[in-house]
Amino acid sequence: MGGRLLLSRGRELGRAPATGREPDGDRTRGRRLIIDFAAINRAALPVLLPLLRRWLSNGRREGREFVALNPRRADQHLGSFKINLVTGRWSDFASGDKGGDPISLAAYVFGLSQGEAARRLAKMLGVR
């Protein structure tokens, strides 16, 4: 599919919700939204460092990586939560949590679904 996923207000593969309403109260009215994950990730990579400084203000750059405290656990020391600034891959070597791109990182850090993280990141970056 080339990084594109057909969604109907957050549902995979265009499946409409049975009630026609999403949990957030929006009506779908049969509209299908396409989230181009690849395009959003491509747009995020060149500005990943400023995004990380905003999202993880306790972190710092170390060469090609950004090292920060993991906001999802009681992390007290820099070192185990790292994001590669070139590829966007990230991992918490203490917990085993990991992902391969800026969207998955945003979803993880803010406790969002991949689709919601992609929509918010696209809006932030001006990606349509």
Report domain extents, the chain.
39-125
Q: Quick one: pLDDT at residue 67?
A: 97
- Stated pTM of the model: 0.74
pLDDT at 124 over 50: yes
How far is residue 58's CA from residue 67's CA, in Å, rounded to a whole number?
9
Please report how the helices 37-44 and 114-125 are oriented relative to each other, as an axis angle in degrees rounded to 10. Answer: 50
- Mean predicted confidence (pLDDT) in 102-121: 96
Q: Per the CATH hierarchy, to which homologous superfamily does domain 39-125 belong?
A: Zinc finger, CHC2-typedomain (3.90.580.10)
With a CB cutoff of 8 Å and minimum separation 6, the contacts of 73 are 92, 94, 95
Report the range of poorest mean pLDDT among 29-33, 49-53, 64-68, 108-112: 29-33
